[in-house]
Amino acid sequence: MKFYRILAVTRRIFSDMRNDRRTIGLIFFAPILAMTVFGLAFSGDVEDVNVIIVNHDEGFTVPGGNYTSLSDEIVSNMDNQTVNIQYMDDENQALDKVKNGKAYAVVIFPAKFTEDVLKSAGSSNASQTDITVKADESVANVKNAIYGTLTDAINTTMSDNGFKSPININSDPVYGKDAEFIDFFVPGIMAFVVYLLTTLLTLLSFVGERVSGTLERILATPVTEGEIVAGYGIAFSIVGTIQAAILLLVGILGFNIIIVGDVWLAFIGIALLAVVCQALGILLSSLANRVEQAIQFIPFVVLPAFLLSGIFWPIEAIPKWLRPLSYLVPPTYAADASRAVMLKGWGLDMIWIDYAALILFALVFLSIAIYSLKRKKG
């Protein structure tokens, strides 16, 4: 073994890298992208959660003292960075906002809340006074943030008034009753796996045909660019749909996940994502001339979906200024629709926007892919 020969091989590799800007970009940019997105996506706390306060509390005037309202004090002590507080008088209208996904929780204070708390606090036989919380508990992180900030506010208020808390939080879930993290996790995993596998399979297959010369020979025939893209689209959409069915079956049989709504409606969302992903794979293939270059796209395909689409970490925990990027990532819509169907029982009338977004992604990606093929042919 000659050391100078080893160095010659090393020099050749670095020489090849120097002539390939994609490789240089991957070496330096991918780690920066990974650490930046990981740090931003996973270092934040849940913020800006819409919570509605329905306050029936009449307050209480202590004999010889001043008027006080413990409910107002509790609300003022809630972390306004975690929750966006809205006030409503009608419980049913407030509850409709939770059912429609416009709020995560309704916190209800009873009419004689302050009076009952003060009397209980001064009694040797103290009884519990209830605050009722009707919440969407399908997202564990968000649920914990709501109950956490409410509990902290109660404890702070009671401590400021110099007595122990005789207050009980009565949980009445609107969605997600008995849901565990796996129930939130599985729909996201389904979307992520289909997104990753379908995109990469299409990308590598299309680039492989370009490298082998098959694509050029096909383009020399009467077959049009649109027909080629449509043919690939049908083939890999079927593959992605089969993968979605397998994932859903494993989730049901292997993890006993909660499914409240129509399982076929959830399946359609994942199948639509497969159509989007094959279109994205064909589009990305136009930027690569060989398989090695195609592989370099993997970090840029995986990281945004992994971290920004709410698959593993709710979008509410992503920094507010970064959240708009989540809606540029197709799996966001598939995961959101699947969770809404499986955990909340929503129908098409509630999730059609997610499906419309996926269809729009597919049309845009397919149109650009067809254009890129025509340009290369020209």
Helix or strand run (H / E) with residue 85: strand 83-87
Q: How far is CA 240 from CA 59, 80, 191, 277, in A?
A: 59, 43, 10, 9
Contact 23, 288 (CB under 8 A): no
Q: Provide the pLDDT confidence category of residue 31 given band limits of 50, 70 and 90.
A: low
User: Helix, strand, or coil here: 221?
Assistant: coil
User: What's the gap between Cα 332 and its chain centre?
Assistant: 5
Output 315-318 pairs: Cβ under 8 A, ≥24 positions apart.
316/46, 316/47, 316/48, 316/49, 316/139, 316/141, 316/142, 316/145, 317/41, 317/44, 317/45, 317/46, 317/47, 317/141, 318/40, 318/41, 318/44
Burial of 32 (0-12, 13-18, 19+ CB in 10 A): exposed
List the domain boundaries for the chain: 49-171, 180-377
**What does pTM read for this prediction?**
0.79
Q: Is the pLDDT assigned to residue 3 strictly greater than 70?
A: no
CB atoms within 10 A of CB 272: 27
| Helix 331-339 / helix 263-285 crossing angle, nearest 10 deg | 170
Q: Is the pLDDT assigned to residue 93 strictly greater than 90?
A: yes
- The Cα 138–Cα 121 span in angstroms is 34
Q: What is the mean pLDDT of residues 265-285?
A: 84
170 or 321, greater pLDDT: 170
Backbone angle region of 66, left / alpha / beta, with phi > 0 → left and psi within -120 to 50 → alpha: beta
- The Cα 143–Cα 125 span in angstroms is 32
Q: In the prediction, which pLDDT does 8 show?
A: 62
Q: Is the pLDDT assigned to residue 357 strictly greater than 80?
A: yes
The CATH superfamily of 49-171 is: abc type-2 transporter like domain (3.40.1710.10)
